[in-house]
Amino acid sequence: MARTGFFARVPVIRQLRQSVGLQRGMLVAGLVLTAVFLICAIFAPWIAPYSFNQLKGPDGGFGAQQPPSSAHLLGTTVGGYDVLSRVIWGAQTALFVIIVAVALSVVAGVLLGLLSGYLGGWIDRVVVVIADAIYAFPTLLLAIVVAIAISGGQSGLWPGVMAAAVSITVVFIPQYLRVVRAEVVRVKAEAFVESARVIGASNGRIMFRHVLRNSTRTLPLIVTLNASEAISTMAALGFLGFGIEPTAAAEWGYDLNKSISDVSAGIWWTAIPPGLAIVLVVLGITLIGESLNDLADPRLRARRRAGKTPADAVAASQPVAREFMGEVE
């Protein structure tokens, strides 16, 4: 029974149990697409038939722009690489960008939002003004500037990943900062915070033990938006020629750029797979974010199935009380 209660409180599983109808369909579709993306990224060395920079096999060179066949299920690119392998290995590169960008954005944005909201005063005003100024910069333009500053344009795997991740981090820090700051301003006025001050708790203990843990409930929603934006920005950098060199790693935006001339010649297999990979991954992560957003807001939740009793409907609209009662039991 305890095990069932634990899994029921896991964030995604809890939202999946609460969702019905279209909400559940969106969440399941997003989870499936994201799961396929993660499997390809993690197990790319074992799933991909060839390496991302492999140009020949036991029978000789692959050849450029070869149509789909038994040896190359999605054909080959203009550079002679296997399209399917490049698509699978590109998921790994995209995952690296997501992890680095999200980690940097969350750490910097949450810390700045916590300090700004809790301390207030001139510190709060300065941080908010700087955040607004940074937020005014276009993401892609800033990404290009950072990519050139870090790697001078095309680069190896990690310089390219860091160029995209840092640019996304700088743009998304204000969003994390504003969300956390608003929650901190609300939470620090609660009675339990005043009680902690009365008993002599230090500001650091109050900030990180009492205020922070109650101010980050909406972060998963922002993380999903950040993750999809990271993939889009990375692909845009590669498409514009500021991404990762093809011999250093596979990148969907670069492959899509090299396939532009193929489309006019009727060679479709070099453009559709990487473009479709970008669309499906962004769609999957976005569906998860939108579903979690709907389920986090009681006003947007779908009605329960007709078989539910009025008491069940009341309990469904009060997840915090339901979890508390489960812990008491």
113, 176 Cβ separation under 8 angstroms? yes
Q: What is the predicted pLDDT for the residue at 321?
A: 41
- Average pLDDT (85-92) is 93
Residue 9's pLDDT band (cuts 50, 70, 90)? low
What is the helix (H) or strand (E) element at residue 175, kind and residue range? helix 157-187
Q: What is the predicted pLDDT for the residue at 14?
A: 62
Q: How many angstroms separate the CA atoms of 131 and 125, rounded?
A: 10
CA distances from 322 to 119, 248, 301, 309 (A): 34, 51, 16, 15
Q: Which tokens belong to 142?
A: 């800033």
Residue type (1 letter), 102: V
The number of residues in the chain equals 329
Confidence check: pLDDT of 87 > 90: yes
Confidence check: pLDDT of 278 > 90: yes
258, 284 Cβ separation under 8 angstroms? no
Give 48's DSSP letter: S
Greatest mean pLDDT among 177-186, 216-225, 299-308: 177-186
- Average pLDDT (107-131) is 86
- In the chain, what are the domains? 2-296 (1.10.3720.10)
Largest CA distance in the chain: 78
Which residues are CB-neighbours of 297 under 8 A, at least 6 positions away?
A: none
Could you tell me which residue, 188 or 314, shows the higher pLDDT? 188
C-alpha dihedral sign at 138, 139, 143, 146 = positive
* Residue from 276, 189, 246 nearest 51 by CA: 246
Q: What is the predicted pLDDT for the residue at 275?
A: 92
Q: How many angstroms separate the CA atoms of 115 and 103, rounded?
A: 18
Q: Which tokens belong to 79?
A: 């550079």
177, 113 Cβ separation under 8 angstroms? yes
Note the pLDDT tens digit of each residue in 135-181.
777 777 877 877 777 766 556 677 777 777 887 788 788 888 888 88
Q: Which tokens belong to 59?
A: 């029978």
Q: What is the predicted pLDDT for the residue at 37?
A: 94
Residue 15's pLDDT band (cuts 50, 70, 90)? low
Could you tell me which residue, 86 or 147, shows the higher pLDDT? 86
Q: Model pTM greater than 0.85? A: no
Q: How many angstroms separate the CA atoms of 176 and 227, rounded?
A: 13
Note the pLDDT tens digit of each residue in 25-82.
888 888 899 999 999 999 999 999 998 888 887 777 788 888 888 888 898 888 888 9
CA Rg value for the chain: 24
- Average pLDDT (269-288) is 91
Which residues are CB-neighbours of 78 under 8 A, at least 6 positions away?
A: 64, 65, 258, 259, 261, 262, 270
Q: Which tokens belong to 170?
A: 């700088």
